[in-house]
Amino acid sequence: MVEITCLSASASKIKLPEFAKEFKKAGFESLLVKMFEKTRESMISLTGVDVGKFQHDKEMLFPMLFSYHENGKKGCVLIDLIREIGTPTTIEITCFAGNKNSLFKLTKLIKDILIQQIGFEKKQIFNGTVRELLKSRTLNKLVNSPQGNLINNITPECLNAFLDKKMREKLRQLVIGPFLGRFFPLSIVGPSLELTEDDIKKLGSLGIFRIGYTAYCSKCEEVASGQVIFRSPEEVEELLRRKVTWCATCGTSLDTKTARIELVCSVSDMGRALTQGLWLEAYVKSIIEKSIAKDNIRASVYHGNDELDVVFLDLDTLDVIECKDKTVGLNDMYVLTMKAARLKADNAFLVSTRKISKDVLSSMKDEDRFGFMSMTGDVKTIKRALEKHIGKMRENFKRSRLQQLAEIVLPFAFPDVERFLARQRWYRHTRRLRY
Ligand SMILES: [Zn+2]
């Protein structure tokens, strides 16, 4: 069964109670009730498109529809498109309104009717298109990797430390350089990385460093291996005073003479993961979070055996992003291709802090299973590119929904106000006949 219903009502400037009245007057409410009575088992996908921007577009799809609005007859025009697509058990309702405010009111109103009057349960109503609904199932199948759990604990302040390239290089030394993740006195780490004690303490408060006091063997001139790190120097002093500890390297019994108390630091597990590239995933995620609901974003997850850096769903587009804080090779491209294809992603992105060679990029030229894009450069360039992509995707979505609307509804739509009123009469007539 394919049902196409259109109704034009006003929404933009009137208040919700008035709008609800209009809605009732047009018979739309009872129509909805009747229509859904038999389909209570269905899942309802409720989505909205704010067409406001297109109103003044010279190539707009519905000149009359919007001129109706412009003539100031009754605020903006909304059309409702109800039809069954995608799955036999999902009904899609798309609301169109002139601006976000009206759209919000309209979708809320329809949702209320579906729940309060028809008896749908809240969980049966999904805010999004059917495609989005199907894709969100894919998203919900993704499982967090150990790093995925870590990424959710990264604070904006912590991430911020990694957006400075120089700081990143310094911190990398702690993981790949001579420090190798062991504890060293601040007096050695600081000058070596050109960090002040305050810098290190700040990184400590952000969770990037682990800082504490320990016994430092004066003979070996290093942190006696196996030593516990304490929060206060008093605790170490107590340990040395009691002479209950010794250096596992040289065997010296450690006391206040053979050892001294040092403030030492080491990179934390989180700091290590961030340094090894997790910061870029966290950064990409933080950019996307500004325009997409957190529920629709996953970072560091498994899809079967594939490890995916960032996956997000916007409207009805599923995107996968591979983040590389290192040189990208042909093999990386191949892996990304396979992962994106298995996920049935719409777009695959490669975000890299390094320039990608033309050879590597051209290997993606013939890929037609999904859109491919690469974003390279410093953090600002990556941010701009991602934001631009999301904005473009939204505009495309609006255009395609309007196009869809045009194809399905336009034959019934309104070339002028008279036809529009006739359409409303027809609509009331068929309502009596068919429901
Ligand atoms: Zn020693």
Domain ranges of the chain: 9-128+398-434, 139-149+280-377, 156-205+209-267
Residue 212 CA, ligand 1 centroid: distance in Å: 19
Distance of alpha carbon 339 from alpha carbon 46, whole angstroms:
30
Residue 255 CA, ligand 1 centroid: distance in Å: 12
6 Cβ contact list (under 8 Å, min separation 6): 79, 80, 81, 409, 412, 413, 423, 427
Q: What pLDDT score does 243 carry? A: 86
Residue 264 CA, ligand 1 centroid: distance in Å: 16
Q: What pLDDT score does 238 carry? A: 92
Residue 52 CA, ligand 1 centroid: distance in Å: 73
- Do the Cβ atoms of 29 and 19 come closer than 8 Å? no
Among 293, 302, 288, 305, smallest CA distance to 351 is for 288
Residue 220 CA, ligand 1 centroid: distance in Å: 4
Kindly state the DSSP code that residue 230 receives in the 8-state scheme: B
Kindly tell me the sign of the dihedral angle through the C-alpha atoms of 49, 53, 58, 62. positive
Residue 90 CA, ligand 1 centroid: distance in Å: 71
Residue 247 CA, ligand 1 centroid: distance in Å: 5
Q: What pLDDT score does 311 carry? A: 97
Orientation angle between helical segments 186-193 and 197-205, nearest 10 degrees: 100
Residues near ion ligand 1 (CB < 5 Å) are: 217, 219-220, 247, 249-250
Residue 129 CA, ligand 1 centroid: distance in Å: 67
Ranges under pLDDT 70 in the chain: 1-43, 45, 47-99, 102, 130, 177-181, 225-226, 401-435
Distance of alpha carbon 188 from alpha carbon 210, whole angstroms:
15
Whole-angstrom CA distances from 82 to 62, 107, 235 are 19, 13, 71
Residue 261 CA, ligand 1 centroid: distance in Å: 14
> What pLDDT, in 10s, does the model give residues 329-361?
999 999 999 999 999 999 999 999 999 988 888
> What pLDDT, in 10s, does the model give residues 325-334?
989 999 999 9
Residue 236 CA, ligand 1 centroid: distance in Å: 16
Residue 223 CA, ligand 1 centroid: distance in Å: 8
Query: Rounded to the nearest 10 degrees, how much is the dihedral formed by the CA atoms of 151, 153, 159, 160?
Result: 160
Residue 221 CA, ligand 1 centroid: distance in Å: 7
What is the value of pTM for the model shown?
A: 0.73
CATH class of the domain defined by 139-149+280-377:
alpha beta
Residue whose structure tokens are 């409207």: 315
- Do the Cβ atoms of 114 and 50 come closer than 8 Å? no
Residue whose structure tokens are 């630091």: 265
Type of residue numbered 226: G
Residue 359 CA, ligand 1 centroid: distance in Å: 53
Distance of alpha carbon 296 from alpha carbon 135, whole angstroms:
10
Residue 262 CA, ligand 1 centroid: distance in Å: 14
Distance of alpha carbon 255 from alpha carbon 66, whole angstroms:
86
142 Cβ contact list (under 8 Å, min separation 6): 298, 301, 302, 303, 308, 311
Residue 266 CA, ligand 1 centroid: distance in Å: 19
Residue 191 CA, ligand 1 centroid: distance in Å: 23
Two tokens at 346?
Answer: 């719409």
Q: What pLDDT score does 395 carry? A: 84
Among 99, 106, 53, smallest CA distance to 81 is for 106
SS3 208: coil
Distance of alpha carbon 160 from alpha carbon 145, whole angstroms:
23
- Please count the other Cβ atoms lying within 10 Å of the Cβ belonging to residue 104: 16
- Do the Cβ atoms of 226 and 251 come closer than 8 Å? no
Residue 144 CA, ligand 1 centroid: distance in Å: 42
Residue whose structure tokens are 């290190």: 200
Residue 398 CA, ligand 1 centroid: distance in Å: 69
Residue 258 CA, ligand 1 centroid: distance in Å: 9
- Do the Cβ atoms of 75 and 14 come closer than 8 Å? yes
SS3 373: strand
Distance of alpha carbon 234 from alpha carbon 255, whole angstroms:
13
Alpha helices, H only, 71-164: 100-112, 130-141, 146-151, 156-162
Taken as a whole, the chain contains a residue count of: 435
Residue 46 CA, ligand 1 centroid: distance in Å: 69
